[in-house]
Structure 1
């Protein structure tokens, strides 16, 4: 059985900085999410608030409020905010310490490692709980340099990249993974961020925590592990940030390390400025596609939309516009599913369709 978990996301649930909590509410293969902490949305159903689909995950105003209303204390306390600075606020230290005192293990998604903090470590010993610093990298002696082994893989590798951070790359990748599995295909998913790992991805690495010299090799190693262990029909690789983004190099390493044959680009048409850098304009979708194709030497085979701030009509109109102007299938997987993407894969990789047919016949 899955361990139970409550996700801390004060004032950020449903926003860009709440992407870890958002992702766990949508899908969690590792933990059973029993609540979200966000006083600004207290009393709501998390699924109803996030995407108008109730999922019986309540939003609580505080940790104390949650423990008063839950039948059992959750096994895990997950820090579900992804702030750009990556550190605990002073008041949040007390909340995490209280969770430990209540017997909850801590899942820390920040760049600040709680296992390096004497107070947290003393608390973990005193109350018999564990701390999991998801972004803490392995020792350098255990890291991998790029080896070139990935150049011999014949299995299709598809990367889901984007035009900014927190635009839904992981969400699209996870939904696509499940849709392909429903077609009977053997799919391997490689996570590249903390949320995907917490959700239960079997393969992956929090790439933004890895020293730059090893980033490409660590991605290659995870793709190779998935390839060798699963013998998959297709490999889906989660993107991070954006190749054009001035503050992040993750996309560069993901492309170089995974060597994708095809690429999907996720884009929020209504976002005018970069999420954590409001003084900088978003790139155009066309400019990002051109940059990706030039850098990767691979083709962008589809576009997926983040519908933040958009009406249903605007989404449909944008889909039509992009398909006409860019000549690639376009969809919003949260609203319309993955049929267009899968049909495109069958066009690009005909062998996938034949494998699907064999599975369906059997």
Structure 2
């Protein structure tokens, strides 16, 4: 049995574990172990030359469903013939098979933007996609995380989809830290980066079916944006959110050529 580890502590560097693995011909892959600093890249602006539409899936908290929403959206876009690549930014996304990406919270801050930029440029050059989705981490407003800031800087996204849990009273693992509103997070994101939030996706934890329906309607009215739930509502609704914002970029190639 081989081992894929997402820990900050590297199993392959532990003498007892690595020796036991060697004896049993077991491969240990430490997903969060970064390459040497000498091999890392600084941000150089090359992401501006990427032709694909770039959309970051950010959130109002950690562990709120950003990766899940990004995965559902990538599948929906690809099913429509819109070639889409998901760039992972965390250990779980990489473990689940993201071909391009980095474990951002394991990289020295000086290189975070450049390493993410490099992953996006590599995905663009190798896959020639129509859309690149960037998995979010943490939240821009969350004082415990700086990863959202690096994602916005490194990916320079054309747009953002924001994941929010309306019934979550406080930040995950921070009982004395109230959750921000979707409106305040949108304002912060759009002030911090030259981008725009094109829609809201809900994490329906603690919500009944009726509450999901009512919240989608209320949030859409108050924010003036499309709102859906990637899991409790059809994936077509999530797809429509992108199509409404970028109709030309999301046309099938055969339709666009006519």
| Aligned match of 1:191 | 88
Q: How much does 1:305 deviate?
A: 0.3
| Aligned match of 2:171 | 274
| Aligned match of 2:56 | 159
DSSP-derived class of the 2:161 partner: strand
d(CA) in 1 for partners of 2:129 and 2:186? 27
| Aligned match of 2:108 | 211
**Aligned: 1:242 with 2:139:** yes
Q: How much does 1:356 deviate?
A: 5.2
Spell out structure 1 runs of 4+ moving beyond 6 A.
none
Say which of 5, 11, 23 aligns to 1:126: 23
Aligned runs of 1:1-362 on 2, under 5 Å?
104-355=1-252, 358=255
Q: How much does 1:201 deviate?
A: 0.8
Q: How much does 1:224 deviate?
A: 0.3
**Bigger CA radius of gyration:** 1
Verify the 8 A CA contact 1:183 1:356 in the aligned structure 2: no
DSSP-derived class of the 1:318 partner: helix
What is the count of residue pairs matched by the alignment?
258
Ranked by relative contact order (alpha carbons within 8 Å, sequence separation 6 or more), the top structure is 2
Unmatched 5+ stretches in structure 2: none
DSSP-derived class of the 2:166 partner: coil
Q: How much does 1:355 deviate?
A: 2.6
TM-score (norm 2): 0.96
DSSP-derived class of the 1:236 partner: strand
Q: How much does 1:347 deviate?
A: 2.8
DSSP-derived class of the 1:334 partner: coil
Q: Deviations over 1:249-298 (max 9, x none)?
A: 00000110000001000011111111021221111111111101111121
TM-score (norm 1): 0.69
Q: How much does 1:342 deviate?
A: 2.2
Verify the 8 A CA contact 1:106 1:130 in the aligned structure 2: yes
DSSP-derived class of the 1:200 partner: coil
Verify the 8 A CA contact 1:345 1:352 in the aligned structure 2: no
d(CA) in 2 for partners of 1:353 and 1:144? 32
